[in-house]
Amino acid sequence: MKKIIYFDIDGTLLDVNRNYSVSAKTQQSLRRLQADGNLTIINTGRSLACIPQEILDLNFDGIIAGCGTYVEFKGQELLNRVLDPELVDRIIETFSREKTDLLLEGPDFVYTLDTVFDPVVARAAIDLFNIEGRRRSISEVPVQINKISYLIRDLHSDRAIIKALEDKLHFIVYPTDVREGIPPGCNKMTGMILLEEWLQREFDFQFAETFAFGDSINDMDMLKHVTHAIAMGNSDPGIHHLTDFVTLDVINDGIEYALKHYNLI
């Protein structure tokens, strides 16, 4: 019986701090999983437009992006939840008032404000996601946005932003200076449920087991949902209580190591 294996990107498939690429062993492991009839699914906080081409070229069976706001399977779009224009205007007004740069992430493009408040911070965010070719100005239309992300300028501005928008967005507050704002009710697990229910309904797909690889607090819902939850060796220790197995660091091919541990390859 087939298995589904979900993969986070940052800190799991990619090490954005030391080696911004997917290792040859990880690529080979993914091909072996698919050759045995298993489904490989990206499950990332990045919007679709923020997913590096290198990842897309690995031909995952499905993509859950933007913390569950976008779902596709073999190129067929199942969900694309976008923020309404009034909320987008409110977000722009709030961040402009607080003089904080942000990324407005969508399925096709990533939008930035016309005004850059801190060139160093703004460039760091763009470089982190490697989105230069998919970057657009917020003044360009039409605009489709699934979520937002930003690096905090200072704690006062961060608190003001969250207070101004928390009735319309759920904010993921990381231990670092990264913040994400997503529509309430969306997370990595809701995307998984939608995909799995669709597979059962359309193909009578029965799951023997489900697996998930993650490293961060925004992976917690995903890890709760699966049969076997796997933390990368470089993961936030705060997620370990939700996992069955802590594998090696991403830089040391932790995905291959865990897949062999579970006899999946």
Question: What DSSP string describes 94-133?
Answer: HHHHTT---EEE-SS-EEE-SS-S-HHHHHHHHHHHT-GG
CB-neighbour burial class of residue 265 (10 A; exposed 0-12, middle 13-18, buried 19+): middle
Task: Please give the C-alpha separations between residue 151 and each of 11, 107, 157, 265, in angstroms, as whole numbers.
Answer: 18, 21, 11, 39
Average pLDDT taken over every residue of the chain: 93
Query: Could you read off the pLDDT of 39-76 as tens digits, one per residue?
Result: 999 999 999 999 999 999 999 999 999 999 999 999 99
* Under 8 Å between Cβ of 195 and 62: yes
pTM > 0.85: yes or no: yes
Q: How many angstroms separate the CA atoms of 70 and 48, rounded?
A: 8
Instruction: Classify residue 169 as exposed, middle or buried by CB count within 10 Å of its CB (0-12, 13-18, 19+).
Output: buried
Confidence at 19, pLDDT banded by 50, 70, 90: low
**Between residues 17 and 102, the one the model is more confident about:** 102
Mean pLDDT score, 92-97: 96
CA distance 252 to 74: 29
Helix, strand, coil percentages in the chain from 3-state DSSP, rounded to 5: 35, 25, 40
Q: At 137, is the secondary structure helix, strand, or coil?
A: strand
Task: Give the pLDDT confidence score for residue 101 in this predicted structure.
Answer: 93
What pLDDT, on the 0 to 100 scale, is given for residue 126?
A: 77
- Is the pLDDT at 13 greater than 70? The verdict is yes
Can you list the domains of the chain with their CATH numbers?
3-80+186-261 (3.40.50.1000), 85-182 (3.30.1240.10)
Q: What is the pLDDT of residues 111-150, one digit of tens each?
A: 999 898 888 878 877 777 777 688 898 888 788 999 999 9
Cα 200 to Cα 214: distance, rounded to the nearest angstrom:
25
3-state secondary structure of 241: helix
Helices (H), the chain: 24-35, 53-56, 85-97, 119-129, 155-165, 188-203, 220-225, 254-261
pLDDT for residue 20 is more than 70? yes
- Enumerate the β-bridge partners of residue 92: none
